[in-house]
Chains A and B, each alone.
Chain A
């Protein structure tokens, strides 16, 4: 009788142990799947944010081109670009940099001319790199660069590196 009771107890304990093993195993697997799914979502959101930074830069009124009052899409005015770049890189204009943080966040934006080949036309528009970051998403996109003195459109590239914390 005593032995029977002991066996029954062991049996019950055995069932419970196996059950909790299975439970822990299942939970571990489930949370692993959740983690990987969340990481994918984070990556997607980071890419979306990076894409938005490029779009915002392209639509800034501080940089847009207009010729005979007609605004040209996907175009930066060279003189405006030089001015804004100078404002944002001047250490005395720290409040300017802080203001543009709302638009560009942690990123490094540079624009350079590709055609006609001109190595001297290369400007860092905005640079704000965090101390620690987990990833960088880099984007390059062609843009027109309007030379208002010579009334010509040059071919340029905007490079945007967005830093994810």
Chain B
């Protein structure tokens, strides 16, 4: 009788230990969870992409004091008929965009992918490497070339 009673008590203790161990396992799993705190970082990154595109488009170049937006419009519409220091407007604006990207995103060690779509001549302008599996913040900026015809600039910033 007493044997059975003490056996029951030991069983009780074992059950408690098992329950505590299961509880500890859940706790460890919870602690190992990936920290969530990327919301503000995500907002910051998409602001950088948006700011970059907007700022870039309004930047004045030395080519007849036209800004990048006007040169891209010229490239899309005429295939680069404007002569900028011996280069077509397409080649010239491509070079300027590359300078900007190298002095900003590349310098800040951010991976990016910049493309333009909407017209064959501007689609040749592309920088960076696309990463399909990476977390990204993207900004798409449409630019009206003329009513009914627009091109789209897209900047993906990874990481």
Interface check A114, CB cutoff 8 A:
yes
Chain B residues within an 8 Å CB radius of A142: 48, 51-52, 55-56, 104
Interface check A29, CB cutoff 8 A:
yes
Interface check B133, CB cutoff 8 A:
no
* Known A-B contacts A114-B103, A115-B100, A139-B44; A36 and B31 likewise in contact (beta carbons under 8 Å): yes
CA distance A152 to B63 in the complex (A): 12
Interface check A43, CB cutoff 8 A:
yes
When the two chains form their complex, are residues A51 and B40 in contact, meaning their CB atoms are under 8 A apart?
A: yes
The bracket for how many chain B residues form the interface is: 20 to 34
Nearest CB of chain B from residue A49's CB, rounded to whole Å: 10
Chain B residues within an 8 Å CB radius of A155: 55-56, 59, 100
When the two chains form their complex, are residues B48 and A74 in contact, meaning their CB atoms are under 8 A apart?
A: no
Q: Which residue in A40, A43, A74 is a CB contact (below 8 Å) of B54?
A: A74
Total residues of chain A contacting the partner, CB 8 A: 31
Return the chain A residue nearest B27 by Cβ: A29
When the two chains form their complex, are residues B20 and A143 in contact, meaning their CB atoms are under 8 A apart?
A: no
Encode A89-115 as 1/0 by CB contact (under 8 A) with B.
Answer: 000000000000000000000000011
When the two chains form their complex, are residues A43 and B37 in contact, meaning their CB atoms are under 8 A apart?
A: yes
Interface check B43, CB cutoff 8 A:
yes
Interface of chain A residues 34 through 87 with chain B (CB within 8 A): 36, 40, 43-44, 47-48, 51, 72-75
Chain A residues within an 8 Å CB radius of B99: 115, 117
Q: Which residue in A47, A115, A141, A144 is a CB contact (below 8 Å) of B47?
A: A141
Chain A residues within an 8 Å CB radius of B16: 18
Chain A residues within an 8 Å CB radius of B40: 44, 47-48, 51
Return the chain B residue nearest A44 by Cβ: B37
CA distance A141 to B54 in the complex (A): 12
CA distance A143 to B54 in the complex (A): 9
The 5 closest A-B pairs by CB, nearest first: A152-B60, A47-B40, A142-B55, A155-B59, A114-B103
A-B contact pairs, 5 of them (CB 8 A): A33-B30, A44-B37, A142-B52, A142-B56, A144-B58
